Amino acid sequence: MPTPDFIRDLRATAGNQLLWIPGVSAVVLDPEGRVLLGRRSDSGEWAIIGGIPDPGEQPASAIVREVYEETAVHCVAERVLVVEALSPVTYPNGDKCQYMDICFLCRAVGGEACVNDDESLEVGWFEPDALPPLQEFAVRRIKHAVEGGTTWFEGIGQS
């Protein structure tokens, strides 16, 4: 994902030190129950759609915007699936970040899935039992969405 301007401004004074950043992600399902994924241009890996809310932007609005910007799919955020602090990451330039991810279950309501910006190499719909290789956190979120469990909070347990 491209670095938002407000993060660049922070980096100008914070250097590479760890930044705590809000993040949003989505398990987007179409009417057939398929999952929308994007193959990231920065890593080449398939992933659920995600991003960083702009300052003052509501999380549900942010994920709806991110899904459209990256895939041209219009969606509706239906509920929160997971709230979780992810492990810290260090980027190739030395910047350190840790994301508080709010993952939403979203329902596709229009648009044709296609690469809609420079953040993805490919986008596509996948059957939940025929996913490409994904990071474990994405697999957990998809499984939780498909099984229909209640909102999951790290450290409190799962339903």
**Domains of the chain and any CATH numbers:** 5-152 (3.90.79.10)
Place of tokens 């474990």: 136
Please state the pTM of the whole predicted model: 0.91
Query: What pLDDT score does 153 carry?
Result: 75
**pLDDT tens digit sequence for 62-99:** 999 999 999 999 999 999 999 999 999 998 899 999 99
Question: Quick check: 115 and 123 in contact, CB under 8 A?
Answer: yes
Query: What pLDDT score does 155 carry?
Result: 67
Contacts of 108 (CB under 8 A, 6+ apart): 28, 29, 30, 31, 36, 73, 74, 75
**pLDDT tens digit sequence for 101-110:** 999 999 999 9
**Residue 1 pLDDT > 60:** no
3-class SS at 53?
coil
Distance CA 67, CA 49 (A): 6
